[in-house]
Amino acid sequence: MQNPRYRELAQSLFTKSNYLARAQHCIDTNTLLISQVAEVAAASFGVSAPEQRAEWAACDAVSAEKVVSTLRQAVREWSAEGAAEREVCYGRVIAEICRLFPDVYDVDNVAASGSQGALRPRNSVRIVIPGCGLGRLPLELALRGFAAQGNEFSFHMLFMSNYMLNCTLRPQEFAIYPYVHSQSHQRSRDLQLRAIRVPDVHPGQLMAYRDQHYPDSPSGELSMVLGSFDDIYLKQDATTNNSENEQGQFETADVVATVFFIDTAPNIFRTLEAIAGLLEPGGYWINFGPLLWHYEDVQQGEDNDVEAGDNDDEDRTRGLELTLEELLELIPKYGFAIEKHESSIPCTYTMDEASMGGFVYKCEFWVARKL
């Protein structure tokens, strides 16, 4: 800053709150977790030794931004602070799945559910969760005894979810400072620079606890499939010999649970086809989310979000962002009957509760049955 008067004023403010030194500490502390996530990820790709980090590809601005949004996603999925936000969306989806498939090893649960369907052990119920972010929803479903399969195509999400699910040692292990890079709507430096602890739960401990305390009820299963949902699960021509089962992905599912996902589709027709094709007759598509069409503002050819995926520009339906009314009209054409539908449910996404700003979506929730 050139003007000495302005500089003096800024300095006096920042000296009082020790802003710059504290911000540096926050960034350094974030680096502890991020570096470990990166090292585990690099090792799994056969890129060795942190000492050789200088040879790793440099981080560009887009990647840096994704790291910041991954930290905010960690708050949503893996902190106590994110619990209320999770409850509105994941909570609804979990409750519905548990109602549809009561725990057959728990007589009270079966009776209370009033289940009309055939009773079956939950670990035979296959649930696919496309665009599962950092994997919390698949974990919660596995803890309730289901065979849950997450799917995700963003490497940033996959690396962090792998770390949270498989590499943390205990609850509250890491302090992160997810808001250090958010300059707007801050009420104070203390709030901007506050620590959030992750993970709020330790997945391994929870699984072990469940197995120990409910020995009669078979364990759930958790798997993760990397790649673009449509490309992986869309039923291919039976004559083509594709490598569909390489990652152990389910060929069919009893439930597909989409949370804040369908509007990420580059081609909604194709996504609906993939969901419908994956479900067994009588299976359920459970959806929660808004319609923030992800590709509305992405120009053809410039697409940073397609990472592990292999989406074809040609196939984009940009400019064909459907309204809710249109989408609801389309769903039965893919062989679904909507059995339950709630509208305009207020829900935030990675919102900092303490900040002065924030966006509240009015989400749709539906349960559609594959006929």
Binding site for ligand SAH (CB under 6 A): 76, 130-133, 151-154, 157, 228-230, 259-261, 264, 309
Helices (H) and strands (E) in the chain, counts: 13, 9
Q: Looking at beta carbons only, is 23 or 90 nearer to ligand SAH?
A: 90
Q: Is 114 exposed, middle or buried (0-12, 13-18, 19+ CB in 10 A)?
A: exposed
Q: Looking at beta carbons only, is 260 or 334 nearer to ligand SAH?
A: 260
- Residues in Cβ contact with 229 at an 8 Å cutoff, skipping those fewer than 6 apart: 130, 131, 151, 153, 271, 274
Q: Least separation, in Å, of the C-beta of 19 and ligand SAH? A: 31
Q: Least separation, in Å, of the C-beta of 345 and ligand SAH? A: 14
Q: Least separation, in Å, of the C-beta of 132 and ligand SAH? A: 5
Q: Least separation, in Å, of the C-beta of 307 and ligand SAH? A: 8
Q: Looking at beta carbons only, is 24 or 242 nearer to ligand SAH?
A: 242
Give the closest residue to 76 by CA, choosing from 303, 309, 324, 259.
Answer: 259
Q: Least separation, in Å, of the C-beta of 295 and ligand SAH? A: 10
**Rounded Cα–Cα distance for residues 350 and 12 (Å):** 32
Q: Looking at beta carbons only, is 26 or 75 nearer to ligand SAH?
A: 75
Omega prior to 346 cis, within 30 of 0 = no
Q: Least separation, in Å, of the C-beta of 159 and ligand SAH? A: 12
Yes or no: say if 311 and 156 are a contact pair by the CB < 8 Å rule: no
Q: Looking at beta carbons only, is 130 or 145 nearer to ligand SAH?
A: 130
The residue number with the shortest CB distance to ligand SAH is 131
Yes or no: say if 137 and 157 are a contact pair by the CB < 8 Å rule: no
**Rounded Cα–Cα distance for residues 348 and 314 (Å):** 33
The encoded tokens of residue 293 equal 């069409």
Q: Looking at beta carbons only, is 76 or 144 nearer to ligand SAH?
A: 76
Q: Least separation, in Å, of the C-beta of 224 and ligand SAH? A: 11
Q: Looking at beta carbons only, is 229 or 293 nearer to ligand SAH?
A: 229
SS (H, E, C) 306-364: CCCCCCCHHHCCCCCCCCHHHHHHHHHHHCEEEEEEEEEEEECCCCCCCCCCCCCEEEE
